[in-house]
């Protein structure tokens, strides 16, 4: 019996590798996004701490230097938060881009797998047809040439 050989097996192998690379880059992008979001959360927490400390200072004996220090620190952290929000948005865009690339790579791989499966089915149909033809020829030869 003949063996099925897919002519574009090397292309399918490349598609698997491209999909693996896309998965890796997606994972890296997700990890970076989580890191950026964590940093943003830390900045927001620090801002809240500064604001709370500023409120406490306003309730106690008025210490202008400390109050000014915490107000300035709050303003600096607010600026850092704005920058970090931009970094988070950029990381989200990178994740989205990586996800789209991953989806495209998966679609291409699935397409080639389907082409391979279709080629296999055609191959087996041709083999079966060839076997039926041989059997028909053998049967017709026996009945048309009775030498017994």
- pLDDT of 1: 59
Q: What is the pLDDT of residues 56-93, one digit of tens each?
A: 877 887 778 887 888 898 899 999 999 999 999 999 99
pLDDT of 109 strictly over 90? yes
Which of the two residues, 56 and 24, has the higher pLDDT score?
24
CA 50 from chain centre, in angstroms, equals: 39
Confidence band of 102 (pLDDT split at 50, 70, 90): very high
Q: Nearest 5°: CA angle at 124, between 122 and 129?
A: 95
Query: Residue 138's pLDDT is what?
Result: 82
User: What span, in angstroms and rounded, lies between the C-alpha atoms of 8 and 148?
Assistant: 50
Q: How many CB atoms lie within 10 A of CB 78?
A: 15
Q: How many CB atoms lie within 10 A of CB 19?
A: 19
**pLDDT given for residue 120 in this prediction:** 93
d(CA 32, CA 57): 37
**What percent of the chain has pLDDT above 90?**
64
Q: Report the chain's mean pLDDT, rounded to a whole number.
A: 89
Residue 7's alpha-carbon distances to 52, 60, 93, 114, in angstroms, are: 69, 82, 38, 14
Q: What is the pLDDT of residue 40?
A: 95
């Amino acid at each position: 019996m003949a063996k099925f050989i897919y002519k574009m097996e090397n292309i399918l192998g490349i598609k698997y590798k491209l999909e693996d690379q896309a998965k890796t880059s997606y994972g890296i992008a997700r990890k970076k996004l989580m890191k950026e979001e964590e940093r943003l959360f830390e900045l927001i927490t620090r801002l809240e701490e500064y604001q709370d400390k500023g409120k406490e200072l306003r309730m106690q004996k008025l210490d202008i230097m400390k109050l000014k220090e915490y107000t300035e620190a709050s303003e600096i952290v607010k600026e850092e938060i704005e920058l970090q929000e931009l970094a988070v948005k950029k990381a989200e865009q990178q994740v989205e881009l990586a996800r789209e690339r991953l989806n495209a790579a998966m679609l291409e791989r699935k397409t080639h797998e389907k082409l391979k499966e279709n080629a296999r089915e055609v191959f087996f149909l041709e083999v079966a047809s060839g076997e039926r033809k041989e059997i028909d020829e053998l049967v017709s030869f026996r009945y048309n040439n009775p030498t017994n």
